[in-house]
Amino acid sequence: MIHTPRLVLQNWLDRHLPDFASMHADPVVMKDLGGPIGLEESRAKFERYRQAERSQGIARWAVETKQGEFIGYAGIMLRPDAEHPLGPHAEIGWRFAREAWGRGYATESAQAALSHAMMDNGVAEILSYTSPDNIRSQAVMGRLGLVRDPSRDFRLVTEAGKTWKGLVWCFPSESAER
Protein backbone atom coordinates (compact mmCIF):
# COMPACT_ATOMS: atom_id res chain seq x y z
CA MET A 1 0.00 0.00 0.00
CA ILE A 2 0.99 3.56 -0.62
CA HIS A 3 -0.56 6.34 1.46
CA THR A 4 -0.78 9.93 0.24
CA PRO A 5 -2.33 12.82 2.17
CA ARG A 6 -5.83 11.98 0.86
CA LEU A 7 -5.61 8.58 -0.80
CA VAL A 8 -4.63 4.95 -0.45
CA LEU A 9 -3.11 3.08 -3.40
CA GLN A 10 -3.50 -0.63 -2.81
CA ASN A 11 -3.50 -4.05 -4.41
CA TRP A 12 -6.64 -5.12 -6.21
CA LEU A 13 -9.31 -6.86 -4.15
CA ASP A 14 -12.41 -8.68 -5.41
CA ARG A 15 -14.56 -5.91 -3.93
CA HIS A 16 -13.04 -3.42 -6.41
CA LEU A 17 -14.38 -5.18 -9.52
CA PRO A 18 -17.96 -3.81 -9.52
CA ASP A 19 -16.80 -0.18 -9.26
CA PHE A 20 -13.95 -0.84 -11.72
CA ALA A 21 -16.44 -2.23 -14.26
CA SER A 22 -18.90 0.61 -13.64
CA MET A 23 -16.15 3.17 -14.31
CA HIS A 24 -15.31 1.45 -17.61
CA ALA A 25 -18.98 1.38 -18.61
CA ASP A 26 -19.24 5.18 -18.37
CA PRO A 27 -19.14 6.65 -21.90
CA VAL A 28 -17.73 9.97 -20.66
CA VAL A 29 -14.88 8.29 -18.74
CA MET A 30 -14.07 6.07 -21.72
CA LYS A 31 -14.48 8.67 -24.48
CA ASP A 32 -10.74 8.94 -25.19
CA LEU A 33 -10.47 5.16 -25.73
CA GLY A 34 -13.34 4.75 -28.15
CA GLY A 35 -16.20 4.28 -25.71
CA PRO A 36 -17.30 2.11 -22.82
CA ILE A 37 -16.37 -1.53 -22.36
CA GLY A 38 -18.54 -4.31 -20.99
CA LEU A 39 -18.23 -6.43 -17.89
CA GLU A 40 -16.19 -9.24 -19.45
CA GLU A 41 -13.64 -6.87 -20.96
CA SER A 42 -13.45 -4.99 -17.63
CA ARG A 43 -12.97 -8.29 -15.80
CA ALA A 44 -10.14 -9.25 -18.19
CA LYS A 45 -8.43 -5.87 -17.64
CA PHE A 46 -8.89 -6.22 -13.86
CA GLU A 47 -7.26 -9.66 -13.96
CA ARG A 48 -4.36 -8.33 -16.10
CA TYR A 49 -3.66 -5.76 -13.41
CA ARG A 50 -3.80 -8.39 -10.67
CA GLN A 51 -1.51 -10.69 -12.66
CA ALA A 52 0.99 -7.85 -13.21
CA GLU A 53 1.05 -7.24 -9.43
CA ARG A 54 1.85 -10.91 -8.80
CA SER A 55 4.35 -11.49 -11.59
CA GLN A 56 6.11 -8.12 -11.91
CA GLY A 57 5.59 -6.56 -8.49
CA ILE A 58 4.51 -3.35 -10.22
CA ALA A 59 1.17 -2.49 -11.79
CA ARG A 60 -1.77 -0.16 -11.65
CA TRP A 61 -2.97 0.34 -8.08
CA ALA A 62 -6.58 0.58 -6.96
CA VAL A 63 -7.05 4.12 -5.63
CA GLU A 64 -9.37 4.70 -2.69
CA THR A 65 -10.15 7.67 -0.52
CA LYS A 66 -9.03 7.43 3.11
CA GLN A 67 -12.65 6.45 3.83
CA GLY A 68 -12.28 3.34 1.61
CA GLU A 69 -14.25 4.53 -1.43
CA PHE A 70 -12.88 3.21 -4.76
CA ILE A 71 -12.39 6.16 -7.10
CA GLY A 72 -10.11 4.80 -9.83
CA TYR A 73 -6.62 3.53 -10.51
CA ALA A 74 -3.12 4.80 -11.15
CA GLY A 75 0.25 3.20 -11.59
CA ILE A 76 2.92 1.76 -13.80
CA MET A 77 2.55 -1.11 -16.24
CA LEU A 78 5.60 -2.83 -17.64
CA ARG A 79 4.88 -3.39 -21.32
CA PRO A 80 7.23 -6.13 -22.54
CA ASP A 81 5.47 -6.37 -25.91
CA ALA A 82 7.97 -5.85 -28.72
CA GLU A 83 4.96 -5.58 -31.06
CA HIS A 84 3.79 -2.36 -29.40
CA PRO A 85 4.68 0.69 -31.52
CA LEU A 86 6.95 1.89 -28.68
CA GLY A 87 8.51 -1.54 -28.13
CA PRO A 88 9.06 -2.73 -24.55
CA HIS A 89 8.53 0.10 -22.07
CA ALA A 90 7.12 1.16 -18.70
CA GLU A 91 3.94 3.23 -18.87
CA ILE A 92 2.26 5.32 -16.20
CA GLY A 93 -1.47 5.68 -16.50
CA TRP A 94 -4.62 6.43 -14.55
CA ARG A 95 -8.38 6.37 -14.88
CA PHE A 96 -10.90 7.77 -12.42
CA ALA A 97 -14.65 7.65 -11.99
CA ARG A 98 -16.21 10.84 -13.27
CA GLU A 99 -17.28 11.86 -9.75
CA ALA A 100 -13.59 12.01 -8.77
CA TRP A 101 -12.52 14.34 -11.58
CA GLY A 102 -11.23 17.83 -10.89
CA ARG A 103 -9.98 17.13 -7.35
CA GLY A 104 -6.30 16.45 -8.06
CA TYR A 105 -6.59 12.72 -7.35
CA ALA A 106 -4.95 11.68 -10.63
CA THR A 107 -1.90 13.86 -9.99
CA GLU A 108 -1.63 12.86 -6.32
CA SER A 109 -1.89 9.12 -6.95
CA ALA A 110 0.19 9.09 -10.13
CA GLN A 111 2.99 11.02 -8.39
CA ALA A 112 3.04 8.42 -5.61
CA ALA A 113 3.08 5.57 -8.15
CA LEU A 114 5.83 7.29 -10.17
CA SER A 115 8.02 7.72 -7.09
CA HIS A 116 7.41 4.10 -6.04
CA ALA A 117 8.36 2.77 -9.49
CA MET A 118 11.54 4.80 -9.81
CA MET A 119 12.81 4.64 -6.21
CA ASP A 120 11.64 1.23 -5.05
CA ASN A 121 11.64 -0.69 -8.33
CA GLY A 122 14.48 0.96 -10.26
CA VAL A 123 12.47 1.83 -13.36
CA ALA A 124 14.75 4.18 -15.29
CA GLU A 125 12.33 5.66 -17.83
CA ILE A 126 8.56 5.89 -17.79
CA LEU A 127 6.36 6.86 -20.70
CA SER A 128 2.79 8.09 -20.72
CA TYR A 129 0.46 8.54 -23.64
CA THR A 130 -3.01 9.76 -24.35
CA SER A 131 -5.20 10.89 -27.21
CA PRO A 132 -4.91 14.44 -28.58
CA ASP A 133 -8.32 15.42 -27.15
CA ASN A 134 -7.63 14.19 -23.59
CA ILE A 135 -6.61 17.57 -22.22
CA ARG A 136 -7.16 16.49 -18.59
CA SER A 137 -4.56 13.70 -18.81
CA GLN A 138 -2.16 15.96 -20.69
CA ALA A 139 -2.40 18.45 -17.81
CA VAL A 140 -1.66 15.69 -15.28
CA MET A 141 1.39 14.65 -17.32
CA GLY A 142 2.69 18.20 -17.16
CA ARG A 143 2.12 18.42 -13.39
CA LEU A 144 4.04 15.15 -12.97
CA GLY A 145 7.05 16.62 -14.77
CA LEU A 146 6.74 14.47 -17.87
CA VAL A 147 7.90 16.11 -21.09
CA ARG A 148 6.29 15.75 -24.51
CA ASP A 149 8.25 13.62 -27.00
CA PRO A 150 6.50 13.96 -30.38
CA SER A 151 9.13 11.71 -32.01
CA ARG A 152 7.47 8.75 -30.21
CA ASP A 153 3.85 9.51 -31.09
CA PHE A 154 2.12 6.45 -32.56
CA ARG A 155 -1.11 5.06 -33.97
CA LEU A 156 -2.95 1.86 -33.11
CA VAL A 157 -5.96 0.17 -34.62
CA THR A 158 -8.45 -0.66 -31.87
CA GLU A 159 -10.44 -3.87 -31.61
CA ALA A 160 -13.37 -1.91 -33.05
CA GLY A 161 -11.25 -1.13 -36.13
CA LYS A 162 -10.78 2.55 -35.30
CA THR A 163 -7.42 4.29 -35.45
CA TRP A 164 -6.24 5.72 -32.13
CA LYS A 165 -3.40 8.25 -31.97
CA GLY A 166 -1.18 8.31 -28.90
CA LEU A 167 0.74 11.45 -27.94
CA VAL A 168 3.77 10.50 -25.84
CA TRP A 169 5.38 12.06 -22.74
CA CYS A 170 8.57 10.87 -20.97
CA PHE A 171 10.01 10.88 -17.47
CA PRO A 172 12.68 11.77 -16.66
CA SER A 173 12.60 14.76 -18.97
CA GLU A 174 16.10 14.03 -20.32
CA SER A 175 14.57 11.03 -22.10
CA ALA A 176 12.62 13.35 -24.39
CA GLU A 177 15.81 15.12 -25.45
CA ARG A 178 17.46 12.02 -26.93
Q: What is the pLDDT of residues 113-134, one digit of tens each?
A: 998 888 777 788 999 999 999 9
**Residue 175 pLDDT > 70:** no
Provide Rg for the chain, Cα atoms: 15
The domain that holds 151 is classified in CATH as 3.40.630.30
pLDDT more than 70, % of the chain = 96
SS3 165: strand
The alpha-helical segments, DSSP class H, found in the chain are 17-24, 39-56, 105-115, 135-143
Q: List pLDDT tens digits, range 38-93.
A: 999 999 999 999 999 999 888 999 999 999 999 999 999 998 888 889 999 999 99
Indicate the number of domains in the chain.
1
Contact 76, 82 (CB under 8 A): no
| Structural domain for 111, as ranges | 2-177
